[in-house]
A and B are shown apart, each in its own frame.
Chain A
């Protein structure tokens, strides 16, 4: 039985497994510094690829972070997700048994699910035939295991939902988790996302002419595309009253969200549709455009993304676009985890008081028009009250979340 009406929802725990470090503190420090954490790929054979840089998670030893699930039975994305979730719970100062005893579940976003597992199976297929696929790896392939891994690792008995809306999936997850907690369907939800580096996406983005050689420079006149990346991220959501009662640190309040669909083209985003999504998100969160102090951009580093995202922002904000930066310049494009990392850094920005930077910006592209402030360099001290987190995807799946400083 839930309470009537609605509950305020806050974020009390943050967990990250990324090229910028493991744990929210390491991740945040790297973002604030504005120094790229991308590197040469080592997790797959890059022979023959002209571009070989990505946001790869180096030296990730799942046994260091996971206590319940056997890493051998789970794919890399599931390991990222479960590790990030465990870190988020620890960060929230919540006893594991208290969480497990509560009405708690997880909702995780992903683009390619267990793509590294699928590529192991493809390697077996290539070496011999489909007949020779290893049964245990087949069992690890379904993408829905990502949220299941979180529930298993933390002993949760509620929902375990994996949303597969590609590169906006973590924002979808955060929105759904917010509704579940606000509406009384759950008392705790872990929301985030996970993805693993894989050859097919690396090849696909290269063929689309969207892959940068070594440096990702969103908003810069010399930008040349994205860097693929991987990682796992989780935010712990709970009702405000509960957080206050247990004396929890509250990073931010989830104010609302919106999702919509371009319904125009599979890979070319539509500024009008994105603008509509921004407006709906504001309405849902009960805020106005002038209240938005910062936008955590989708900011992939492609010309198309910059033009579309800035045009959409102009439609809503007119000539006063809030500072808009892209952490993909630092960690690359973590695909289904991307807007989750965006949400995490938004929480930190609200809690610690700064604006996350865009790295590698030397000259803002004048073609984007006046008034585009990508917070170049390193973090800027500020006291944002309400921030907006963007996530767009192939298939036209837009998702925007709004977070506020807890007052």
Chain B
């Protein structure tokens, strides 16, 4: 490499990593498929009213289900046929269907361009555990272990739903699937933030999917991780995430700003201390005072040993109080594992949408804790993107 070329290359790399280091992200659309409906406002109303989502598990396969509450997206086949169509979709599993549906709604609500540099960041835990475990089961049940259906093989890989979403909408940009369990929402936003910041993509559909099935319902039931009354649920939520500056420059407005998405690993520390520290760090990064937080959307409801840890940590980080609005989505949608984080945010956005002008100036934190030791926090606010005042917050350092 000539030294001149090397210099230009180094400058390019330097400017890339400096790019947008202080840029906030805008959520410009949201789409959901939940046991409480296919609309974020419906979801928010159900959550805030303490209404349970649908518990109808008809048609979810032949396996007996555990004696525990369920929350299931009602009439998924019909909704799918209506909004996506049946043609060529015979082999799609429930995880992929939920993902396609939520992304469809997010794209319908997106007012800007889509273009070639649009991508997908999808949070999961194991992909469709029903698809992979049934495939494995076939190798045991068939006369010959290889007599599995080749058309169903792609359903066993965890990136299946993100790949299908890309195919349906022609999204050739960054396409990532991450296995984050309870941290998947925070992690998907972090992955997206980095991809946008480095200029790898212009806008990203960011979310999570978890399907209800006998395998995961029994898994939760057997694991002992859930409280006795905690229902197992399902759902998908996707946010259209774009750099706030680009949205503003195009004369569009977002639903909310994402000011921080922080994560850490507790390791030897207590989970609670680690979470409190991460919330604190996220608020500092957002340029927000703990006293400014009016809402929290919790992630560990129903999780034995984690629920109280999470609440204590939020209290500790917010000056000894819980904010006036505490959103617990799991009473409505059930334990949704890797889509829980995205649903926590979607419910919050739905509530803000429902309130209209009354939500102006509100700041919220969204928290996540995993059994393995990961903790995370997202900070959002309703700052009017249209005013051009992006405030002191941002995703810089």
Contact = CB atoms under 8 A, between A and B. Distances in A.
Interface of A: 1-2, 4-7, 47-50, 100, 105, 110-115, 118-119, 121-123, 125-126, 129-131, 133-135, 138-139, 141-146, 148, 151-152, 155-166, 172, 176, 179-180, 182-185, 198-201, 203-208, 256, 258-267, 273, 276, 284-288, 291, 393-397
A291 B187 contact: no
A384 to B, nearest CB: 14
Given A263-B169, A267-B153, 8 more contacts: A6-B16, A47-B145, A115-B132, A123-B140, A151-B267, A199-B140, A266-B167, A395-B157
Interface string B368-387: 00111110000000000000
A95 B341 CA distance: 36
Interface in B256-286: 263-269, 274
B59 to A, nearest CB: 18
A113 B191 contact: no
Contacts, number: 295
A48 B144 contact: yes
Contact of A5 (B17, B138, B178, B371): B17
A200 B264 contact: no
Given A112-B156, A260-B172, A133 B219 contact: yes
Contacts of B172: 260-263, 273, 276
Interface in B148-190: 148-150, 153-154, 156-160, 162-164, 166-167, 169-181, 183-184, 187, 190
A161 B150 contact: no
A396 B174 CA distance: 11
Interface string B1-40: 1000110111011101110010000000000000000000
B328 interface: no
Nearest to A1: B397
B52 interface: no
Interface in B110-168: 119-120, 124-127, 129, 132-133, 135-141, 143-150, 153-154, 156-160, 162-164, 166-167
Contact of B225 (A115, A119, A139): A139
Nearest to A172: B176
A6 B135 CA distance: 46
Contacts of B57: none
A48 B139 CA distance: 10
A164 B14 contact: no
Contacts of B138: 200, 203
A253 to B, nearest CB: 11
A312 to B, nearest CB: 14
Give the size range of B's interface with the partner: 35 or more
Contacts of B330: none
A69 to B, nearest CB: 11
B52 to A, nearest CB: 24
Contact of B136 (A6, A122, A258, A265): A122
Contacts of B266: 157
Nearest to A263: B166
Contacts of A273: 172
Contact of B187 (A122, A161, A172): A161
A49 B146 CA distance: 7
Nearest to B175: A261
A126 B141 contact: yes
B176 A182 contact: no
Interface stretch (B193-201, B299-307, B343-351, B354-362): B193-201
